[in-house]
A and B are shown apart, each in its own frame.
Chain A
Amino acid sequence: MTVGIVVVSHSRALADAAVALAGEMVPSGSVPVRVAAGSSDMTFGTDATEIQRALVSADSASGGDGVVVLMDLGSAILSTEMALELVPDDVRSRVRVASAPLVEGLVVAMITASIGSARERVAADARNALQPKITQLDES
């Protein structure tokens, strides 16, 4: 199976676009991705119960391989931590929350997940996702 990915953002448009951009790098449908983004009235915001549902859904689709979460900032982080309190213990034990930049982290996580890597590896690679940009710009 394949590690699932949950994208948490203040903006549905931002999350969907990031998923589409990262999705170009992997075979279509190869990684189960769920988006939890925007508040209930379509303004900027995050919703812990929506994240909770996304975590459970992505975990189920991963067939037990678990989930890596990519987030933007602020309440996306607090709501994700809140959501982790709301999911069943076994699901929580299979979730890794990555302190990665959203766009770069998502691209790397999608690629790493698509080749069958374990959730720890997917999360760790996502956390290092800025390295190519740092290397490129420091050399120029």
Chain B
Amino acid sequence: MPATEWTVPLLVDWIRTYADDVAAAADDLTALDSAIGDADHGSNMKRGFAAAVTALDEKPPATCADVLKTTGMSLVSHVGGASGPLYGTFFLRLGAAAGTETTVDATTFGAGLHAALDGVRARGKAEVGDKTLIDALTPAVEAYDAALAKAADPSDDALVDAIAEATKAAAIGRDSTTPLQARRGRASYLGERSVGHQDPGATSMALLFAAAEQVTR
């Protein structure tokens, strides 16, 4: 059964699935980061999301906001690299938008994605084209909006469809980073040498939407 809305168990499933995905991809993410960064993105994300899963196990969340805020705080204290405050801000903003309910509908989740995008953009001062996770997140949020606007009845398959469209857009955005020269983050120190490498942050962001698609469809 495709999900019509987010629930507390479904959000926890998203975080668990992503923790598994990012652990499986850790070596690949670190290989991307070793080309243009400090070679720790995979291990950092794996550690951060493992800590989030542990925190969710230790104190079972009562609301959607609890799931997302617990995840965000685990990331800011366990990731270590810039992705800690960036992904941490993403989940804290998404959590703030989710409110104190035990479900989040497609429209509220869309508003949460906007708040998360704004928060991450403000935190990292990055824009589209800077070769960062923003290059995957921005088109994903735009595609989510567009799909939701097209849906006849937002209570039906709207969430699944919108997340599927967001996932496709995030993957295209991830691929778009390869020819870019980095203007933010550690890779920006490399100048022209950063051209020709896929951005690790955009890669992990695309995986985050793919995990959401996997658990909701």
Contacts and interface: CB of A to CB of B under 8 A. Distances in A.
Contacts of B84: 45-48, 75, 78-79, 82
A92 to B, nearest CB: 16
A128 interface: no
Interface in B43-89: 43-44, 47, 73, 76-86, 88-89
A69 B84 CA distance: 19
Interface residues of A, number: 19
Contacts of B86: 78
Residue among A40, A41, A73, A78 facing the most chain B CB atoms (10 A cut-off): A78
Given A79-B84, A82-B88, A45 B79 contact: yes
B185 interface: yes
A74 B78 contact: no
| Chain A facing B: main interface SS | loop
Contacts, number: 67
B170 to A, nearest CB: 22
A79 B185 CA distance: 13
B59 to A, nearest CB: 16
A47 B81 contact: no
Nearest to A82: B85
B217 interface: no
B78 A81 contact: no
Contacts of A49: 73, 76-77
A122 B73 CA distance: 31
B193 interface: no
Given A75-B80, A78-B86, A41 B47 contact: yes
A74 B80 contact: no
A81 B85 contact: yes
Given A44-B38, A44-B40, A74 B185 contact: yes
Interface in A49-76: 49-50, 73-75
B85 A78 contact: yes
Contacts of A43: 40, 43, 80
A78 B123 contact: yes
B124 interface: yes
A39 interface: yes
B71 to A, nearest CB: 14
Contacts of A81: 85, 123
11 contacts: A39-B44, A39-B78, A39-B79, A40-B77, A41-B47, A46-B81, A74-B82, A74-B185, A75-B80, A75-B83, A78-B84
Interface of A: 10, 39-41, 43-50, 73-75, 78-79, 81-82
Top 9 closest pairs, chain A to chain B, by CB: A45-B80, A39-B80, A75-B82, A78-B85, A82-B85, A49-B77, A48-B76, A75-B81, A47-B77
